[in-house]
Structures are given as C-alpha cells and as structure tokens.
Structure 1
Amino acid sequence: MRFCITHDNDCIRLDPDVLVPWIAYTQPMTPDTVLFDLDSTLCRSTQDDRKLHAEAFSRAGVEPFCTPEEVRAAATAVTDADTDREFFRQVFERVGARADAGPIDAEALAAATVELRDPTAVEWRPGARQALQRARQRARVGLVTNGTRDTQRAKLETLGIADAFETIVYAADRTEPKPSPAPFETALAELDAPADSALYVGNDYRADVVGAKRAGLTACWIPDEHDLDPPADPTHVPDYRFESPTELTTVF
C-alpha cells in the first residue's frame, strides 16, 4: 500500500495494519460538550444600528462624536459591567475619550440606548438554527453569554430556544464576563464536563476565542459581518475558523 503526501508529491510506504489507526488518530475529536455564545453567533438584531445610534444621541441631547463601528470596537474592552446601562455608560466614556470629545453625558447616552434597544427584535443568524439542532443531537449543549438574564432570556424566548440548553450562564449576573475563564468554568462545572472535550462557538475574538482558550476549551470562531479581526500577533488562536455556522457540521 502506498500513501502519497500531496504537498511535495513524495511517497512513503505504510503497513496496511498501521494505516487505519493512523488515520483515526489524526482525525479531530468530536466534542462531548458544545457551548454557544448568543449575540451575533446564534442570533442577530433586526434593528437598524445606524438609526438606533442616531436616535440615542438625539434623545440624550448629545452632539454625535462617534460611529456605530467605534461603539462596537469600544464594547469589546468593557469587562466589568453588571447591567446593560452600566455597560453602555462605560462604552460611551471610552469612545468619548478616544475621540477627545471633551465632557460628555455618557449616562444619558447609555439610558437612551437601553430604552431604544429591543431584545425581542432578533432573528437567527443564517445556519445557526441547524447548527444548534445538530449539536443537540450529538453532544450536551450549553450557553455562555455576557448579557444579563432579563435581556438575553427575551432573545431566547423570541427564537424559541429558552429550554434548548442544559445550562445557561448569564455572566453579567453570575460571574466575571468573558474573556475571563470564569463563565466557561461555571458552565462546565454545571454539566460536570471536562474542558478538554468541550467546544465553544462564538463570533467575538476577544471575548469568545480568548476566553475559551483561557478556560482550556477548543475554540471555534465564526465572526459576523461587523466583527473585528484578531490582533496581528494573537496570543490565542482559534482551533477552527468558519465563515458561517453551517460549517459547524464538519466538527460535529
């Protein structure tokens, strides 16, 4: 029996009795546990981001000093907010400082943003429903999200998956948020599952990939259209990177 190495066209001989075990050994392990992120991984907001952004500044009586893209970029650095309002307050403070906007009413901007955002205005990210269904058929499934219980529960109920997970960790209410390993460790403990046989699926490099790798999980990164690229020299590299949740079927 001959086995060809395609990258340089050289060939090596393998004993037939060795070939099957060798192939089996090199195949990726099917995860026993799959943990998902929610926002921009399983679902997307149906609200117009630019209209919401402009209306928030108008309601707060603040002259616009940033774009929605700059708000999203600043949001990845906020890791210690206990409420949605506190989260956005910190986000606008960070963006204002970067823009050298001078004194701003971040509290008013945060309040207006929370009032305008509708947690029930969500839809499935294409391919995500099928990926979740397949995961549930093949593994134990949990959810790890940085959002608050009230906000995220409304999204789950809208999608019809409030009871689809064996455990849900709302990090804003229970632990340090991602990228801390704490919410991942909490989910695994509740499932009595080891990290080395668990897969985490998320769209945000900093929160999801870094957090999952810190906790010892296999990380699958599926960035959405607005997500930022990882740093040029990332400390943590995802084990899988896909363009769409539909590609998760190659893992489980």
Structure 2
Amino acid sequence: MAPDTVLFDLDSTLCRSTQDDQRIHAQAFARAGVEPFCTPEDVRTVASTITDADTDHEFFRQVFERAAARAGAGSIDAEALARATIALRDPTAVEWRPGAQAALDRARKHANVGLVTNGTRTTQRAKLDTLGIADAFETIVYAADRTEPKPSPAPFETALAEIGASADSALYVGNDYRADVIGAKRAGLTACWIPSERDLDAPADPDHMPDYRFDSPDELTTVL
C-alpha cells in the first residue's frame, strides 16, 4: 500500500553541496591556526553522533572536540575551528542530488509531503531557497530549532502531528542510517534509506532495518 505521507531529509537526500569538502577542511584549520588532526571523513563520522546541538556553532564545536578526542590530539581550539568552518561554508552552494527532484515531484502528486532536517532554520532555509522548494512542503521541522534532533522520534512526530498523519501510513526518506533510518523506525514510520556515495554501510541492527534501500532517489517512484 502506497504511503499517504512522505517526509524527506534534506542534506545528501534532496540536495548536495557543491563546495569542496577537502578544501574547506584544510582552510578551516589554517584559518583557526590549528594543526590538522583529522580528515573530512573523520568529521562526517563524528558528526553523525552529535544529538544535542541547537546551533551550527555548537554542532561544529562538538564535532571537532570529539574528533580530537578520537585522534588523541589533546587540547585543541574547537571554538576557532567551528567559527572558521561556518565562515567558509556557503549554505546556498547546493544542487539537487541526481534523481531527487523527480522523487519530490512524484511524492507531491501522490501524498502529503514534509521535511524533517537536523539543521537550523537559517542554514536549511537558504538551501531550500536555492533549490526553489521553500514552499514545497506541508510542514518543515528544523530539529535544531524546535525538537531534539534525529534519531530522536520527536521531529518525526512533530511533522506528522502538523500534517495530521499517522506514522503507520507515512514513509521517511533519508541518506543517513543512524539519523534517518533509526529515527524513523523509532517513530513508527516506514523507512527508505538512500545512502550517498559518502555514507557508511549500515550496521547490522535487526530492530532498525530500512524497509527500502535504493541507490538513487528516483527509485522512490516505484513505491509511490
């Protein structure tokens, strides 16, 4: 049975950055005056474990603190690294992930649609404006501003309540196994996992397995 509600993640699901991660990473360390102790891949791995940051600065501060701890780097200036990273990152430098526009268009024709993202309103709204989809959703939950972030069930439950939909007839679409699949399953939704080329393989967790796994967002049209 096709879902009557489809909730989407934003980053790396509907859109992807056009900036060079390696370049931003190197420039952030240079600007902060900190000797590099981790790679962009290390940052992405640690970023998925941050669950209590309510601003972009707090998010990146925690990311660099945890990355330094994992690397045994000792005391580092995480505040300076967070400031430098935010200054260098351009939230308007995004493009559609291939197949994502078709998936969103299809969902809008056949279901209620919403967006559930862990980012802040300011940062994520800039991306939506660039893509021209700020008004494409019945509801948008910016978890960093309103609820506990994914994988908490709170942002999913908030979105469903605002649409007036039930979890058992809703589908969540995301690229991040921990935040998106585990979060959606905790909230009782059907989960569609569409990992990007940068996403790690999902750990074996029989309690939180995706109901669908696709290589590209446009494959979502097979279930709508």
When normalised by structure 2's length, the TM-score is: 0.99
Task: Return the offset for 1:234.
Answer: 4.8
| SS of corresponding position for 1:112 | helix
Aligned residue for 1:249, secondary structure, equals helix
Please list every run of 5 or more consecutive structure 1 residues that lacks an aligned counterpart in the other structure.
Answer: 1-28
The amino acid across from 1:149 in the alignment is R
Instruction: Give the number of the structure whose alpha-carbon radius of gyration is greater.
Output: 1
With structure 1 as the length reference, what TM-score do the two structures score? 0.88
Structure 1 counterpart of 2:180, from 208, 229, 235: 208
2:125 is equivalent to residue 119 of structure 1 = no
**What are the residue-to-residue correspondences of 1:14-93 with 2, within 5 Å?**
29-93=1-65
User: How far is the alpha carbon of 1:235 from its aligned partner?
Assistant: 3.4
Partner of 1:170: 142
Q: What does residue 186 of structure 1 align with?
A: 158
Displacement of 1:231: 1.3
Residue 246 of structure 1: CA displacement?
1.1
Alpha-carbon shift at residue 152 of structure 1 (Å): 0.2
> What does the per-residue CA deviation read over 1:190-212, in whole Å, with 9 as the maximum and x for residues that have no partner?
01100000000000000000000
What residue in structure 1 maps to residue 216 of structure 2?
244
**Stretches (4+) displaced over 2 A:** 232-235
SS state at 2:92 partner: coil
**RCO greater where, 1 or 2, for CA within 8 Å and sep 6 or more?**
2
Counterpart for residue 101 of structure 1: 73
Q: Kindly, what percent of the aligned residue pairs are identical?
A: 82
In structure 2, how many angstroms separate the alpha carbons of the residues matched to 1:130 and 1:232?
30
Work out the CA distance in 2 between the residues paired with 1:100 and 1:46.
31
Deviation sequence 1:215-246 (CA, Å, 0-9, x none): 00000000001111111345310000000001
For 1:128, the aligned partner's letter is: A
Q: Determine whether 1:224 maps to 2:196.
A: yes
Letter in 2 for 1:229: D
Measured at CA, do residues 110 and 234 of structure 1 come closer, stay the same or move farther in structure 2, by a change above 3 Å? farther
1:57-80, Cα deviation, whole Å (9 max, x unpaired) = 000000000000000000000000
Q: Please give the alpha-carbon distance, in whole angstroms, between the structure 1 residues aligned to 2:9 and 2:99.
A: 14
Task: Please list every run of 5 or more consecutive structure 2 residues that lacks an aligned counterpart in the other structure.
Answer: none
Distance in 1, Cα, partners of 2:128 & 2:178: 23
Q: 1:213 to 1:233 in 2, by over 3 A?
A: closer
Alpha-carbon displacement from aligned partner over 1:30-72 (angstroms, at most 9, x marks no partner): 0000000000000000000000000000000000000000000
The separation in 1 between residues aligned to 2:198 and 2:206, in whole angstroms, is: 19
Amino acid at match of 2:213: R
